[in-house]
Amino acid sequence: MAQLLLFNKPFNVLTQFRKADNVTTLKDYISIPDVYPAGRLDKDSEGLLLLTDSGYLQHLISDPKHKLVKTYWVQVENIPDEPALHAIRSGIVLKDGKTKPAQVKLIAPPSVWSRQPPIRERKAIPTQWLEIKITEGKNRQVRRMTAAIGHPTLRLIRYAIGDWTVENLQPGQWQAVDAASMIKSGHDLETKNDRRRSNRAEPTLSGRRRIHRRQAHAKPTSGSPGRRRKPD
């Protein structure tokens, strides 16, 4: 049976097991062999990271085509107005392409752990928490999205991936969960996609009639037998 771990990644931890000089990595928290991150979470971000020993499960979680929603709680500088939020909902043009439409709303400060070290706040500039939901995973996407609307990210916590959350997990803690439902939904999705491809590949009755009519009215090509040319 495939293993699936939920890990609450602390701030300033690299999402890798390979040791690095003077840097904290996953190896400092997780001793289970042969599990690897399904997706990434930047060193300066916190929150949910999924790890598994199944390549298939890793693909299901990290591949954007499966549209697994990732929920982020984001503390930004200043308070975004409605046009700024609408820009995120509509998609923002970044250097590597336009983002897909995302869900975003203002939220009250969530009841979460303190970050060490804390963010740098300026007394003259207020901050605001947002909940942002996306289905893709461009590099540092959420940070670039909030910067593009003029509200730099001060703190970023990934709260959920699909139905899995960091609820009841303190920074550095992890727990194993049952992956059977995720694997089943992946198989169901692939079966559904296979049927769609099969239906597209096989012409419908009306499609076959159109093909037949085109063939019946097609003119002979230069290589096709036609009238013999009279000798000069």
Question: CA–CA separation, 36 vs 16, rounded Å?
Answer: 8
DSSP secondary-structure letter at 222?
T
**42 included as an active-site residue:** yes
Q: Select which of 28, 42, 53, 63 is catalytic.
A: 42
**CA of 174: how far to CAs of 147, 150, 165, 171, in Å?**
31, 35, 11, 9
Tokens matching residue 99: 């983002």
Question: CA–CA separation, 220 vs 216, rounded Å?
Answer: 10
**CA of 70: how far to CAs of 3, 111, 132, 160, 210, in Å?**
20, 19, 8, 6, 45
**Chain centroid to CA 222: how far?**
53
Q: Give the residue numbers annotated as catalytic, written as ranges.
A: 42
